[in-house]
Chains A and B, each alone.
Chain A
Amino acid sequence: MARLVVLGGGVSGHTAATFAAKWLGSSHEVVVVTPNAKWNWIPSNIWVGVGLMSKEEVTFDLASVYAKAGITYKQAKAVSINPEGGSSSDKPFVSIEYTLESREGDVEDVEYDYLINATGPKLNFAATPGLGDENGLGEHTVSVCTADHAVHASQELKKCIQKMKNGERQKFLIGTGHGLCTCQGAAFEYIFNIEHELKKAGVRDMADIKWISNESFLGDFGVGGLHMKAMGFAVSSRIFAESLFAERDVDWIIGAHVSKVEAGSVDYELLDGSVGKESFDFSMLIPPFAGVGIKAYSKDGEDITAELFAPNGFIKVDANYSAGAYENWKASDWPATYQNPTYTNIFACGIAFAPPHPISKPMSSPSGTPINPTPPRTGMPSGIMGKTVAHSICDRILKGEDAPLHRASMAEMGAACVASAGKGIFDGTAAAMTIYPVVPDFDKYPGTGRDTDYTFGEIGLAGHWIKHILHHLFMYKAQLKPGWTLIPE
């Protein structure tokens, strides 16, 4: 009987664990180690953050779902990986610390035959002074990265709306809180949902709304922008995004590294080296992401974290980490199997794997401050990677250790993204986009790096309906309700 341990029950880990449990059946064991009692459909946190959905609508209890799937569930966080075993055994194990209330702080070593690290990001609020502390939220800004953060954001938004109703002008500043942030799409979606809600509340004319981001051009989204076909042109996402901002009277600052957050203002440095200060009454700034800080130890207890993990805390996989300068970058630098090159029974998927380099062109200010988005690993790629890695491991368990690994490179994979702007069935709109491939391949598609037949975007109610449907489909699928395997990742 083999044991697969999955660290992290988010989009990627949950997909991997549930498929593995289905494919392996009861003759092998799947264990999920994850610190939260609830699963969260993170994209819908945007609607929680403007008060249109409750926390309960975007989360569900994991315990009953894992019991139904025959998965052993440990509500705990992984602290370290011992890929060579320890003093008493050669069997590799992970050390975990329980977060379950009744066992809080208890530690346990969980042995594994195969390990998937799908621990997602550490929300690194501490990287920017004043943005937040190690525990999450700062005192001056809000966040929508977790369901609880989003509930807090909606409460603060309500207060601002009330102030505007009382005749007090309010300034909203939304975007990224550091020069190396990713997840611009989430902030993009949030700013337009706020704009929509302010209009609905009849206070739009009392609000100044501004975007601040580390992108070198509006619409970069951490993927170096994209080109989509419109009216016979291949139109850059820059035009698409600028048009949306202009139409809704949202101003922007781009190429910005937010260096400090204080009550009511941020300090920032721009790509041209100039510095500035921007005031706000309400601000949601996405924090930079890092690995969650799991350590690794050799058999004799030596710290081998730097061997297993990249310096940013994400786990090394089959990527080319020595591509060097931007001019050398190739689509083939991107990993395909997500297998760790040293310990071949360890895999990483979703945000937890170390990307070989950014997707957007790296840039820095004259003082050397790097200001460019780090690569996003959005929901669809995270789900596909999770399923692919589970497939590879199940094949190795069921067919033998030489079974070929399955592949899912972000340079050969597309992503569908829907950024809503309001939630009404008849008045909400959304930008529905696909991008193919996620990582541009300039050898295959010279110029834009992508296939413009499969990279497209448009704004309208249709995208909004799709966003609604995706919410219900993914909540349904993650709860393993009948037919869940038919819903694609």
Chain B
Amino acid sequence: MSKYSEKNIKAYGNNFTTMTPGPVAKFLRTCVIYQFIRFIVINLKMLVVVKKSH
């Protein structure tokens, strides 16, 4: 039985050479506390890009 994150990979198919997220990466994507921190960080980064563009 393949692991969830690997079950869609097909041998020598289109997606054979890519990476897939493991359980920690997937957990962090919807972990509200971690995402709240990322929300602040991404917003700050975006503001810098916006500032550099004006």
Contacts and interface: CB of A to CB of B under 8 A. Distances in A.
A251 B53 contact: no
Interface in A436-458: 436, 454, 456, 458
B18 A246 contact: yes
Contact of B52 (A251, A432, A454): A454
Contacts, number: 94
Nearest to B39: A462
Contacts of B15: 242, 245-246, 251
A461 B26 CA distance: 11
A243 B21 contact: yes
A47 B54 CA distance: 29
**A-side binding surface: helix, strand, loop or mixed?**
mixed
Given A246-B18, A246-B20, A251-B14, A380 B42 contact: no
B24 interface: no
B2 interface: no
A412 B52 CA distance: 8
Contacts of B29: 429, 459-461
A98 to B, nearest CB: 36
A429 B30 contact: yes
B49 A247 contact: no
Which of under 10, 10 to 19, 20 to 34, or 35 or more describes the interface residues of A?
A: 35 or more
Nearest to B9: A246
B26 to A, nearest CB: 8
A242 to B, nearest CB: 4
Interface residues of B, number: 30
Contacts of B45: 434, 454, 456
**B-side binding surface: helix, strand, loop or mixed?**
helix
A462 B44 CA distance: 12
B30 A414 contact: no
Interface in B1-41: 5, 8-9, 13-15, 17-21, 28-30, 32, 34-36, 38-39
A252 interface: yes
Contact of B42 (A239, A454, A463): A463
Contacts of A384: 53-54
B8 A416 contact: no
Most buried by A among B8, B15, B30, B46: B46
A167 interface: no
Contacts of A381: 53
Given A429-B30, A434-B49, A460-B28, A239 B35 contact: no
Contacts of A434: 45-46, 49
Interface string A211-245: 00000000000000000000000000001001101
Nearest to B5: A247
Contact of A432 (B18, B36, B42, B54): B42
Given A242-B15, A454-B49, A466-B46, A426 B32 contact: yes
Nearest to B28: A460
Contacts of B13: 251
Nearest to A438: B53
Contacts of B35: 460-462, 465
Contacts of B28: 460
A461 B17 CA distance: 26
Contact of B48 (A242, A408, A454, A462): A454
Contacts of B38: 458, 460, 462
A304 interface: no
A248 B14 CA distance: 13
Nearest to A425: B32
B24 to A, nearest CB: 12
Nearest to A254: B14
Given A243-B20, A460-B28, A465-B39, A416 B46 contact: yes
A350 to B, nearest CB: 15
B19 to A, nearest CB: 5
A460 B41 CA distance: 13
Nearest to B18: A242
Contacts of B52: 413-414, 436, 454
Contacts of A246: 8-9, 15, 18, 20
B50 A414 contact: yes
A426 B9 CA distance: 27
A463 B34 CA distance: 12
A432 B29 CA distance: 12
A106 interface: no
B39 A252 contact: no
A461 B32 contact: yes
22 contacts: A242-B15, A243-B20, A245-B18, A247-B8, A247-B20, A247-B21, A384-B53, A384-B54, A413-B52, A414-B53, A415-B49, A416-B50, A426-B30, A432-B46, A434-B49, A436-B52, A460-B29, A461-B29, A462-B39, A462-B42, A466-B42, A489-B50
The 5 closest A-B pairs by CB, nearest first: A242-B18, A246-B15, A462-B39, A414-B49, A461-B35
